[in-house]
């Protein structure tokens, strides 16, 4: 049985607040830099890799919607200025299809239920389907396999 899912990037309003404040939620200065790494700067605002020469910002972010022992804070890249965001929420991010990711499944209390690694887009969709088919799973976090950095949230979708 196939589940319907929705991909959620970071909220543009939240990111606007961080940029305007000049500090992330953990007191780190928002420092604009020019991306020099082709294929190594995944943007969490629009879910694609930053192009060489694009202006980006590295901030600390807490992805978990509720507290608890599994809450993590980690580094994420966003555009230095507001972008269009991620608009195709009912499909897997094309800009991340080549990435190996770990999907962490959480219950409604924010406790990890299961973790699975996916090699890329088609495999990731199967992993998402399998995890969201479990009734105890409330949402998933996609994370970088090596660094553990948060990439995006996956929820059951309409």
φ/ψ of 28, rounded to 5, equals: -80, 135
Question: In this structure, are 62 and 111 located in the same domain?
Answer: no
Domain carrying residue 126: 89-156
Look at residue 3 and tell me if it is in a domain.
Answer: no
Task: Supply the pLDDT for residue 3.
Answer: 67
Q: What is the pLDDT along the chain (158 residues), one digit of tens a residue?
A: 456 899 999 999 999 999 999 999 999 999 999 999 888 899 999 999 999 999 999 999 999 888 888 889 999 999 999 999 999 999 999 999 999 999 999 999 999 999 999 998 789 999 999 999 999 999 999 999 988 999 999 999 87
Task: Supply the pLDDT for residue 1.
Answer: 43
Contact 1, 126 (CB under 8 A): no
Question: In this structure, are 13 and 57 located in the same domain?
Answer: yes
Contact 58, 36 (CB under 8 A): no
Question: In this structure, are 119 and 74 located in the same domain?
Answer: no
Task: Supply the pLDDT for residue 66.
Answer: 85
Question: In this structure, are 75 and 97 located in the same domain?
Answer: no
Look at residue 150 and tell me if it is in a domain.
Answer: yes
Task: Supply the pLDDT for residue 83.
Answer: 96
Question: In this structure, are 106 and 128 located in the same domain?
Answer: yes
Which stretches within 22-154 are classed as H helix? 121-132
Q: Of 37, 53, 79, which one is at a domain's C-terminal end?
A: 79
Look at residue 96 and tell me if it is in a domain.
Answer: yes
Question: In this structure, are 140 and 96 located in the same domain?
Answer: yes
Look at residue 4 and tell me if it is in a domain.
Answer: no
φ/ψ of 29, rounded to 5, equals: -65, 140
Domain count, the chain: 2
Task: Supply the pLDDT for residue 144.
Answer: 94
- Cα–Cα distance for residue pair 109/115, rounded to 1 Å: 16
Q: Of 79, 112, 132, which one is at a domain's C-terminal end?
A: 79
CA distances from 3 to 48, 49, 91, 150 (A): 24, 27, 12, 23
Task: Supply the pLDDT for residue 93.
Answer: 95
Look at residue 144 and tell me if it is in a domain.
Answer: yes
């Amino acid at each position: 049985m196939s589940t319907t899912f929705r991909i959620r990037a970071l909220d543009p309003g939240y990111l606007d607040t961080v940029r305007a404040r000049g500090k992330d939620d953990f007191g780190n200065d928002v420092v604009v830099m020019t991306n020099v790494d082709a294929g190594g700067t995944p943007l969490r605002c629009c879910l694609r890799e930053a192009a060489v020469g694009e202006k980006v910002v590295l901030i600390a972010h807490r992805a978990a919607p509720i507290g608890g022992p599994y809450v993590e804070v980690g580094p994420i890249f966003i555009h230095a200025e507001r972008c269009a965001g991620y608009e195709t929420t009912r499909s897997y991010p094309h800009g991340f299809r080549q990435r190996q990711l770990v999907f962490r499944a959480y219950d409604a209390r924010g406790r990890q239920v299961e973790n699975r690694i996916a090699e890329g887009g088609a495999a990731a969709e199967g992993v998402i389907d399998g995890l969201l088919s479990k009734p105890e799973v409330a949402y998933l976090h996609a994370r970088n396999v090596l660094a553990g950095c948060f990439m995006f949230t996956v929820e059951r979708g309409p």
